[in-house]
Amino acid sequence: NAGVTQTPKFQVLKTGQSMTLQCAQDMNHEYMSWYRQDPGMGLRLIHYSVGAGITDQGEVPNGYNVSRSTTEDFPLRLLSAAPSQTSVYFCASSLDTRLAGANVLTFGAGSRLTVL
Amino acid sequence: ELKVEQNPLFLSMQEGKNYTIYCNYSTTSDRLYWYRQDPGKSLESLFVLLSNGAVKQEGRLMASLDTKARLSTLHITAAVHDLSATYFCAVVANTGTASKLTFGTGTRLQVTL
């Protein structure tokens, strides 16, 4: 099993450019989410999804769009990149949407984005 | 809004010593996770604590949960260099049909020889 796969691993953008961070999982997980990690701030939830066609906002959704057309894929779109979006982005998934019992979030390897 | 605080933020300790990392959270929750992150790497799940009084142990790490005090601890016994990493606690908040995981700021642990 590949688990949670994120691409690209590194990306440099100029202010105003757009791009999509890809996330795919092969574990048939219903729950998928995007976090950003900044120094001294831990991980903050951007958007999450509980199944195909269903998405919702997290703590820091501004400047980001998501969609969930299939169970496997959950891309994160930056429509007009800003330097404040320089961060490391993690995609994570779980079998259970309520994270019940011993269900944990499984994380991808991360995508490091720099916006100049 | 759920707030999760960890302390200390940075911990430098000698090999062989014991120490405890604290995780406080602001609203009721019955589930708490501990994750480990090595530099430049992803997050690895260490423990899932599911109820008040839960205690989990793996090697030199032991985690506990007190839901009444809204406190979890991660205790390190006889630290070794391989434990150097950043440790995060994360608390579950339920919102209708889904749950969200809110992370603490992390504790960077450095174990010196």
Range B75-100 average pLDDT: 88
- Whether residues A40 and B9 touch (CB distance < 8 A) is answered with yes
Does residue B37 carry a pLDDT above 70? yes
pLDDT digits (tens, 9 = 90+) for B65-75: 999 999 999 99
- Put simply, whether A5 touches B (Cβ < 8 Å) is no
B99·A43 Cβ contact <8 A: no
* Helix (DSSP H) and strand (DSSP E) numbers for chain A: 0, 11
Q: Tell me which chain B residues have a C-beta less than 8 angstroms from the C-beta of A50.
A: 97-98
The answer, yes or no, to whether residue B26 has pLDDT greater than 90, is yes
What's the maximum distance between 2 C-alpha atoms anywhere in chain B? Answer: 48
- On whether any CB of chain A is under 8 Å from the CB of B45, the answer is yes
pLDDT digits (tens, 9 = 90+) for A6-61: 999 999 999 999 999 999 999 999 999 999 999 888 899 999 999 999 999 999 99
- Starting at the edge strand found earlier in the chain, the sheet holding B71-76 runs B4-7, B19-25, B71-76, B61-66, B55-58
Nearest neighbour of B42 by CB, restricted to A56, A58, A109: A109
Q: In this structure, how many other beta carbons lie within 10 angstroms of the beta carbon of residue B74?
A: 24
- Tell me what the pLDDT averaged over chain B comes to: 92
Tell me which residues of chain A, numbers 31 to 90, contact chain B at a CB-CB cutoff of 8 Å.
31, 33, 35, 40-45, 48, 50, 56, 58-59, 90
